[in-house]
Protein backbone atom coordinates (compact mmCIF):
# COMPACT_ATOMS: atom_id res chain seq x y z
CA UNK A 1 0.00 0.00 0.00
CA UNK A 2 1.51 3.30 -1.09
CA UNK A 3 1.93 6.14 1.38
CA UNK A 4 -1.10 8.47 1.09
CA UNK A 5 0.37 11.34 3.13
CA UNK A 6 0.57 14.76 1.44
CA UNK A 7 4.07 16.08 0.75
CA UNK A 8 5.39 18.15 3.70
CA UNK A 9 4.27 21.77 3.75
CA UNK A 10 7.63 23.54 3.43
CA UNK A 11 8.64 27.12 2.50
CA UNK A 12 10.10 25.68 -0.74
CA UNK A 13 6.77 24.08 -1.58
CA UNK A 14 4.95 27.38 -0.93
CA UNK A 15 7.54 29.24 -2.99
CA UNK A 16 7.09 26.88 -5.98
CA UNK A 17 3.33 26.31 -5.90
CA UNK A 18 1.87 29.10 -3.75
CA UNK A 19 0.80 31.14 -6.78
CA UNK A 20 -0.69 28.21 -8.69
CA UNK A 21 -3.82 28.95 -10.66
CA UNK A 22 -5.53 27.30 -13.60
CA UNK A 23 -4.24 28.34 -17.01
CA UNK A 24 -6.99 29.69 -19.33
CA UNK A 25 -7.32 26.28 -21.01
CA UNK A 26 -7.61 24.40 -17.72
CA UNK A 27 -9.90 27.05 -16.26
CA UNK A 28 -12.29 26.52 -19.18
CA UNK A 29 -12.30 22.77 -18.51
CA UNK A 30 -12.80 23.34 -14.78
CA UNK A 31 -15.74 25.67 -15.37
CA UNK A 32 -17.28 23.15 -17.79
CA UNK A 33 -17.02 20.46 -15.09
CA UNK A 34 -18.64 22.75 -12.49
CA UNK A 35 -21.45 23.67 -14.90
CA UNK A 36 -22.54 20.01 -15.01
CA UNK A 37 -23.95 20.35 -11.50
CA UNK A 38 -26.94 22.35 -10.22
CA UNK A 39 -26.45 25.82 -8.81
CA UNK A 40 -25.01 25.62 -5.29
CA UNK A 41 -23.61 22.11 -5.87
CA UNK A 42 -20.31 23.17 -7.40
CA UNK A 43 -18.44 21.12 -4.80
CA UNK A 44 -19.54 18.00 -6.67
CA UNK A 45 -16.87 18.89 -9.24
CA UNK A 46 -14.03 18.37 -6.77
CA UNK A 47 -12.78 15.16 -8.41
CA UNK A 48 -12.48 16.50 -11.99
CA UNK A 49 -10.93 19.73 -10.66
CA UNK A 50 -8.27 17.85 -8.70
CA UNK A 51 -7.57 15.78 -11.81
CA UNK A 52 -7.26 18.92 -13.95
CA UNK A 53 -4.96 20.57 -11.39
CA UNK A 54 -2.77 17.46 -11.31
CA UNK A 55 -2.59 17.42 -15.12
CA UNK A 56 -1.57 21.09 -15.24
CA UNK A 57 1.14 20.46 -12.64
CA UNK A 58 2.22 17.54 -14.84
CA UNK A 59 2.55 19.78 -17.87
CA UNK A 60 4.55 22.31 -15.87
CA UNK A 61 6.93 19.65 -14.52
CA UNK A 62 7.03 17.23 -17.49
CA UNK A 63 5.73 14.46 -15.23
CA UNK A 64 2.42 12.68 -14.74
CA UNK A 65 1.65 15.44 -12.23
CA UNK A 66 0.89 15.56 -8.54
CA UNK A 67 -0.98 17.65 -5.96
CA UNK A 68 1.14 19.88 -3.71
CA UNK A 69 -0.77 21.26 -0.72
CA UNK A 70 -1.04 24.83 -2.15
CA UNK A 71 -2.64 23.38 -5.28
CA UNK A 72 -5.15 21.44 -3.14
CA UNK A 73 -5.88 24.70 -1.30
CA UNK A 74 -6.39 26.46 -4.64
CA UNK A 75 -8.98 23.85 -5.68
CA UNK A 76 -10.72 24.23 -2.29
CA UNK A 77 -10.83 27.99 -2.75
CA UNK A 78 -12.07 27.62 -6.34
CA UNK A 79 -14.99 25.50 -5.13
CA UNK A 80 -15.53 27.47 -1.90
CA UNK A 81 -15.16 24.35 0.23
CA UNK A 82 -13.05 23.56 3.31
CA UNK A 83 -9.52 22.42 2.52
CA UNK A 84 -9.96 19.34 4.71
CA UNK A 85 -12.85 18.15 2.51
CA UNK A 86 -10.66 18.37 -0.59
CA UNK A 87 -7.80 16.69 1.25
CA UNK A 88 -10.13 13.83 2.19
CA UNK A 89 -10.85 13.22 -1.49
CA UNK A 90 -7.24 13.66 -2.64
CA UNK A 91 -5.87 11.26 -0.04
CA UNK A 92 -8.56 8.62 -0.63
CA UNK A 93 -8.22 8.03 -4.38
CA UNK A 94 -5.03 6.58 -5.87
CA UNK A 95 -5.57 8.54 -9.09
CA UNK A 96 -4.21 11.56 -7.23
CA UNK A 97 -0.47 11.65 -6.59
CA UNK A 98 0.45 13.24 -3.27
CA UNK A 99 4.20 13.22 -3.92
CA UNK A 100 6.18 14.17 -7.05
CA UNK A 101 6.24 11.39 -9.64
CA UNK A 102 8.22 10.69 -12.78
CA UNK A 103 7.20 11.31 -16.37
CA UNK A 104 5.64 7.85 -16.37
CA UNK A 105 3.81 6.47 -13.36
CA UNK A 106 4.04 2.69 -13.62
CA UNK A 107 1.27 1.16 -11.53
CA UNK A 108 1.67 -2.61 -11.33
CA UNK A 109 -1.40 -4.52 -10.21
CA UNK A 110 -0.39 -7.05 -7.56
CA UNK A 111 -3.83 -8.40 -6.61
CA UNK A 112 -4.50 -12.16 -6.78
CA UNK A 113 -5.46 -12.68 -10.48
CA UNK A 114 -2.50 -10.58 -11.65
CA UNK A 115 -0.22 -12.17 -9.05
CA UNK A 116 -1.20 -15.69 -10.20
CA UNK A 117 -0.55 -14.65 -13.81
CA UNK A 118 2.92 -13.23 -13.18
CA UNK A 119 2.88 -9.75 -11.64
CA UNK A 120 5.97 -10.64 -9.57
CA UNK A 121 7.89 -10.92 -12.83
CA UNK A 122 6.60 -7.51 -13.94
CA UNK A 123 7.77 -5.93 -10.69
CA UNK A 124 11.18 -7.55 -11.25
CA UNK A 125 11.31 -6.05 -14.75
CA UNK A 126 10.64 -2.61 -13.28
CA UNK A 127 13.24 -3.05 -10.54
CA UNK A 128 15.89 -4.07 -13.09
CA UNK A 129 15.45 -0.61 -14.63
CA UNK A 130 16.18 1.06 -11.32
CA UNK A 131 12.58 1.65 -10.31
CA UNK A 132 11.95 1.61 -6.58
CA UNK A 133 8.42 1.60 -5.19
CA UNK A 134 7.27 5.07 -4.25
CA UNK A 135 10.32 6.86 -5.69
CA UNK A 136 11.20 8.75 -8.85
CA UNK A 137 13.98 7.04 -10.80
CA UNK A 138 17.27 8.89 -11.17
CA UNK A 139 16.56 9.78 -14.80
CA UNK A 140 13.19 11.25 -13.80
CA UNK A 141 11.36 8.89 -16.16
CA UNK A 142 9.66 6.45 -13.82
CA UNK A 143 7.75 6.12 -10.58
CA UNK A 144 6.76 2.61 -9.53
CA UNK A 145 3.66 1.88 -7.46
CA UNK A 146 2.10 -1.48 -6.65
CA UNK A 147 -1.68 -1.11 -6.70
CA UNK A 148 -4.76 -3.20 -6.03
CA UNK A 149 -7.04 -4.58 -8.76
CA UNK A 150 -7.55 -2.13 -11.63
CA UNK A 151 -10.42 -4.07 -13.17
CA UNK A 152 -8.59 -5.83 -15.99
CA UNK A 153 -8.40 -9.28 -14.37
CA UNK A 154 -9.57 -11.03 -17.59
CA UNK A 155 -6.37 -9.83 -19.26
CA UNK A 156 -4.07 -10.20 -16.26
CA UNK A 157 -1.36 -9.41 -15.54
CA UNK A 158 -1.64 -5.73 -16.29
CA UNK A 159 0.00 -2.40 -15.62
CA UNK A 160 -1.39 1.12 -15.83
CA UNK A 161 1.03 3.77 -17.05
CA UNK A 162 -0.36 7.32 -16.85
CA UNK A 163 -3.70 7.16 -18.71
CA UNK A 164 -3.18 3.81 -20.47
CA UNK A 165 -3.48 0.15 -19.54
CA UNK A 166 -1.16 -2.56 -20.85
CA UNK A 167 -2.51 -6.08 -20.46
CA UNK A 168 -1.60 -9.74 -21.01
CA UNK A 169 1.93 -8.79 -20.07
CA UNK A 170 5.05 -10.87 -19.70
CA UNK A 171 8.35 -9.43 -18.49
CA UNK A 172 9.50 -9.23 -22.13
CA UNK A 173 6.33 -7.48 -23.29
CA UNK A 174 6.55 -4.98 -20.44
CA UNK A 175 10.20 -4.38 -21.31
CA UNK A 176 9.12 -3.51 -24.85
CA UNK A 177 6.41 -1.12 -23.61
CA UNK A 178 8.90 0.64 -21.32
CA UNK A 179 11.52 0.81 -24.10
CA UNK A 180 9.01 2.49 -26.39
CA UNK A 181 7.96 5.03 -23.77
CA UNK A 182 11.57 5.78 -22.85
CA UNK A 183 12.26 6.43 -26.56
CA UNK A 184 9.36 8.89 -26.72
CA UNK A 185 7.10 6.59 -28.73
CA UNK A 186 3.55 5.51 -27.89
CA UNK A 187 3.32 1.71 -27.63
CA UNK A 188 0.14 -0.19 -28.43
CA UNK A 189 -2.21 0.03 -25.46
CA UNK A 190 -4.56 -2.66 -24.12
CA UNK A 191 -3.85 -6.35 -24.58
CA UNK A 192 -0.36 -7.27 -25.73
CA UNK A 193 -1.45 -10.82 -26.69
CA UNK A 194 -1.00 -11.30 -30.45
CA UNK A 195 -4.36 -11.82 -32.15
CA UNK A 196 -6.40 -10.80 -29.12
CA UNK A 197 -8.66 -7.79 -29.64
CA UNK A 198 -9.81 -6.94 -26.12
CA UNK A 199 -10.79 -9.42 -23.40
CA UNK A 200 -12.42 -12.12 -25.55
CA UNK A 201 -11.16 -15.69 -25.00
CA UNK A 202 -7.61 -16.27 -26.21
CA UNK A 203 -7.98 -18.04 -29.57
CA UNK A 204 -11.13 -16.14 -30.46
CA UNK A 205 -14.72 -15.84 -29.24
CA UNK A 206 -16.70 -19.01 -28.51
CA UNK A 207 -20.13 -17.35 -28.46
CA UNK A 208 -21.79 -14.43 -30.27
CA UNK A 209 -19.26 -14.95 -33.07
CA UNK A 210 -21.32 -13.00 -35.61
CA UNK A 211 -20.87 -9.90 -33.46
CA UNK A 212 -17.15 -9.77 -34.20
CA UNK A 213 -17.54 -8.09 -37.58
CA UNK A 214 -20.99 -6.52 -37.41
CA UNK A 215 -23.82 -5.61 -35.08
CA UNK A 216 -25.61 -8.89 -35.68
CA UNK A 217 -29.28 -9.13 -34.61
CA UNK A 218 -29.79 -12.50 -32.88
CA UNK A 219 -33.42 -11.89 -31.88
CA UNK A 220 -34.99 -13.98 -34.65
CA UNK A 221 -32.77 -16.94 -33.75
CA UNK A 222 -33.84 -17.25 -30.11
S1 LIG B 1 -6.28 -8.36 -10.23
FE2 LIG B 1 -5.08 -7.15 -11.58
S3 LIG B 1 -6.60 -6.14 -12.74
FE4 LIG B 1 -7.78 -7.29 -11.35
Rounded to whole angstroms, the Cα distance separating 123 from 134 reads 13
Per the annotation, does 126 bind a ligand?
no
Rounded to whole angstroms, the Cα distance separating 13 from 200 reads 47
Per the annotation, does 114 bind a ligand?
yes
**pLDDT at residue 200 in the model:** 87
What is the Rg, in whole angstroms, of the alpha carbon atoms belonging to the chain?
A: 20
List helix spans (H) across 64-111.
69-78, 83-92
Ligand 1 in reach of 122 Cβ (< 6 A) = no
Instruction: Read off the pLDDT of residues 44-54 as tens digits, 9 standing for 90 and up.
Output: 999 999 999 99
Rounded to whole angstroms, the Cα distance separating 58 from 128 reads 26
Does 205 have pLDDT greater than 90?
Answer: no
Domains delineated in the chain: 11-92 (no CATH), 104-185 (3.40.30.10)
Q: pLDDT tier at 2 (50, 70, 90 boundaries)?
A: low
Helices 46-61 & 24-35 angle (0-180, nearest 10): 170
Instruction: Read off the pLDDT of residues 10-57 as tens digits, 9 standing for 90 and up.
Output: 999 999 999 999 999 999 999 999 999 999 999 999 999 999 999 999
pTM of the model: 0.90
CA angle 133, 134, 140 (to 5 degrees): 95
Ligand 1 in reach of 90 Cβ (< 6 A) = no
Amino acid sequence: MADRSPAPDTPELRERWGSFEFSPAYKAKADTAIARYPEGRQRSAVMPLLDLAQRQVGEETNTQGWLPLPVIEYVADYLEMPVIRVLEVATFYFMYNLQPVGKYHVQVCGTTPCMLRGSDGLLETCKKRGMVKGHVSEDGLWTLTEVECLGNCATAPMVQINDDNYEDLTPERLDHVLDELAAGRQPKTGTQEPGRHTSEPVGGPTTLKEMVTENHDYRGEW
